[in-house]
Structure 1
Amino acid sequence: MAYQGYDLIGDIHGCALSLRMLLARMGYRQINGVYQHPQRKVVFIGDIIDRGPHIREALHIVRDMVEAGHAEIVMGNHEYNYLCYVTPDPEKPGEYLRQHTPRHKRILQQTLEQLSPYGDEQQEYMEWFLQLPLFIEFENFRVVHACWHNELIETFKQKMGGNRIDRGFLERSAKEGSFEWEVMDRLLRGTHLRLPNDEVMVSKDGFRRHFFRTKFWMPDPQYLVDVVFQPDPLPAHLARLPINNAQREDLLYYGDTEKLLFIGHYWREGTPSPITDNITCLDYSAVKFGKLVAYRLDDETVMQPDKFVWVDVAREVHLIDPEVGAS
């Protein structure tokens, strides 16, 4: 089937009711149990799991659409984290690729609990997550969960022959500093800088952080405030610091002549809008009473502010299902 347009959908995080409302709003209907549109196709930006109240249902909706050919998907950092959490470390008997620390367990807790009664499904989803593409490049646009890094992606394609990892790559990615680790860190978590002077920030979700997320589209940033890209602002005394040479080397620039790029991951707020003429982030914190957002792409070559569609979780969904956003 030749599709006439694509609907890019941001981080779902177990908000299945919001997803159903968003799909219906865009004209998708269930036929034989699978959401589909006569002319359009969905591309999911990853992070289907964790935090939300209806993770298993969200997974069923998304996977059914993908397997029936009505959607495509890229891996999110939460799917990757789950894979590492449940995959034994071949070099450390009794341990896993992602350590079972209280912090890591807290992030995955809802997924682990909601899937635990369904052992066969747990195994199926682990295998499915492993074969999800890390990125997709279409003729006129690109999709990746957090950051498009041309050099890493080209090297990855040469090494792996496509856009998917395998179990060996997954196991090697647990070794910090390896090529595999760098690919997963950049593409699924984005660019980031360490806080100067070993300072620590406590984010809105209660985690202590030594790094802050950064923009990868600024051509010539001068101060740390120019590149910070997260809901939590930098402390004023850090925001005013100039970017030094070492920090500049860790930044990335996705130029304004590159293809349209769709990402998630970054917990944006407010009214959905493009970041630049060729970059749009679709993560608007649905699971934290924000919005589940889609961009309806046709043949445009510049992002259009009027192409966003969303479900306002706090206003439209929480009144129907009080569990939404409660995690």
Structure 2
Amino acid sequence: MLIPVCDKEIYMSNYTVIPDIHADPERLSLSLATAASSDHLAFLGDFIDAGKSVLRPDDAEVLTRVRRLIEDDGAVAVMGNHELNAILFHRLDSNGQPLRARDDKNRAQHRSFIERFSIGSDDALDWTEWFLTLPLWRDLGGLRLVHACWSDTAISTIAARRLDGRLRPDDLEEVARKETPFARAVDLLLSGPETALPAGIGFHDNSGHYRTQVRIAWWRADAPTWRAAALSVPNPEYLPETEITDELGLDFYGEENPPVLVGHYKMRGAPRIETPQAACLDYPDTPCVYRWSGEQALRTTSLISTNK
């Protein structure tokens, strides 16, 4: 299957890949400090919306620095789900209603951005307009980048309309409803695959919300049980050890593909490479970056801690 690529002219063989910053200027500075002078920078999205552990959140500082790196220094980036959420949150549909509900849950998730820019302000709309310049995926000719899930099928669906992988304002109402194949493809790339747990099974996520659906590690093709395949579950012991028997309809990522790096999943423990072809870099408690120098198989030695 032919996968469209973005911005061929920027292809290089050395990248420092930086995962989710979430409005944390210190984390951004530490991540940038790990890059070698010869490396180009690549970001996996989710620049905004600080979590509770961020001591000095500043969405404006992070966005200004990242935008300058992209526009002036040739860094590359993909859109994260928090950028898409912000685009929808600050815009109205054809009936004058917000494209993303402005309820207590969504306001809490988006609090640091709202406190800095307010809702629907000129600054908020300007920044979310810039978010639309970020593609949903990048194929760098040897290394692939996407925020949450690389799916050939989803990418082909999007590329049939948007070959460069960038959303347009005309797409937003459709994307917000998540009812069409195009909208579901966008959601898969930015939020990853989720499926319903067996009846009666659920868990509380990192924000305390009770969930009966779980994210699935699309790179763990041989994960036999719910507990082994699940992602972003604070205590996996709440999930059953029973085998996953339902057909999930996922594009599990095969060993024949180029390496792909993602963020998004708030992994726990020490950063690690789970498979030679795919890895998540989002470890909030033990931040890291990946320094890629053209290798066809990901390696643990290229994971660099950004802790002081």
TM-score, normalised to structure 1, is: 0.84
**Which residue of structure 1 lines up, in the alignment, with residue 215 of structure 2?**
213
Distance in 2, matches of 1:292 and 1:242, equals 32
Distance in 2, matches of 1:180 and 1:12, equals 28
Distance in 1, matches of 2:106 and 2:121, equals 21
Distance in 1, matches of 2:82 and 2:210, equals 18
Mapping 1:282-297, distance limit 5 Å: 282-285=281-284, 290-297=285-292
Residue 132 of structure 1 and its aligned partner are, at CA, apart by 1.0
Residue identity in the other structure for 1:83: I
Of residues 10, 28, 38 in structure 1, which corresponds to 2:19?
A: 10
Change (3 A) 1:82 1:175: same
Of residues 13, 17, 25 in structure 1, which corresponds to 2:34?
A: 25
Residue 54 of structure 1 and its aligned partner are, at CA, apart by 1.8
Residue identity in the other structure for 1:8: V
**Which residue of structure 2 lines up, in the alignment, with residue 224 of structure 1?**
226
RMSD: 2.1
**Which residue of structure 1 lines up, in the alignment, with residue 3 of structure 2?**
none
Where 2:304 maps in the other structure, the secondary structure is strand
**Which residue of structure 1 lines up, in the alignment, with residue 158 of structure 2?**
156
CA contact (8 A) 1:11 1:292 kept: no
**Which residue of structure 1 lines up, in the alignment, with residue 179 of structure 2?**
177
CA contact (8 A) 1:170 1:180 kept: no
Identity of aligned residues (%): 28
1:204 is aligned to 2:206: yes
Distance in 1, matches of 2:272 and 2:28, equals 19
Where 1:276 maps in the other structure, the secondary structure is coil
Distance in 1, matches of 2:306 and 2:16, equals 14
Residue 174 of structure 1 and its aligned partner are, at CA, apart by 1.3
Change (3 A) 1:114 1:18: same
Of residues 91, 112, 118 in structure 2, which corresponds to 1:87?
A: 91
Mapping 1:228-243, distance limit 5 Å: 228-236=230-238, 238-243=239-244
Where 2:287 maps in the other structure, the secondary structure is strand
CA contact (8 A) 2:227 2:237 kept: no
**Which residue of structure 2 lines up, in the alignment, with residue 44 of structure 1?**
43
**Which residue of structure 2 lines up, in the alignment, with residue 275 of structure 1?**
274
Residue 251 of structure 1 and its aligned partner are, at CA, apart by 3.5
CA contact (8 A) 1:19 1:292 kept: no
**Which residue of structure 1 lines up, in the alignment, with residue 170 of structure 2?**
168
Q: Give the gaps of 5 or more residues in structure 2.
A: 1-9
Deviations 1:252-301 (A, max 9, x none): 3111111100100011122222121111211111xxxx233210100211
**Which residue of structure 2 lines up, in the alignment, with residue 147 of structure 1?**
149
Distance in 2, matches of 1:243 and 1:270, equals 24
User: 109-118 vs 97-106, which deviates more?
Assistant: 109-118
Residue identity in the other structure for 2:243: P
Where 2:230 maps in the other structure, the secondary structure is coil
TM-score, normalised to structure 2, is: 0.89
Change (3 A) 1:217 1:25: closer
1:252 is aligned to 2:224: no
Where 1:284 maps in the other structure, the secondary structure is coil
Distance in 2, matches of 1:106 and 1:180, equals 28
**Which residue of structure 1 lines up, in the alignment, with residue 7 of structure 2?**
none
Residue identity in the other structure for 1:46: G
Where 2:199 maps in the other structure, the secondary structure is helix
Residue 229 of structure 1 and its aligned partner are, at CA, apart by 1.8
Residue 220 of structure 1 and its aligned partner are, at CA, apart by 4.1
1:61 is aligned to 2:61: no
Residue 50 of structure 1 and its aligned partner are, at CA, apart by 0.2
Residue 89 of structure 1 and its aligned partner are, at CA, apart by 1.4
Distance in 1, matches of 2:124 and 2:260, equals 32
Distance in 1, matches of 2:151 and 2:217, equals 13
1:305 is aligned to 2:307: no
Where 1:291 maps in the other structure, the secondary structure is coil
CA contact (8 A) 1:202 1:209 kept: yes
Residue identity in the other structure for 2:242: L
Change (3 A) 1:240 1:271: closer
Where 1:253 maps in the other structure, the secondary structure is coil
CA contact (8 A) 2:90 2:119 kept: no
Distance in 2, matches of 1:300 and 1:233, equals 34
Where 1:160 maps in the other structure, the secondary structure is coil
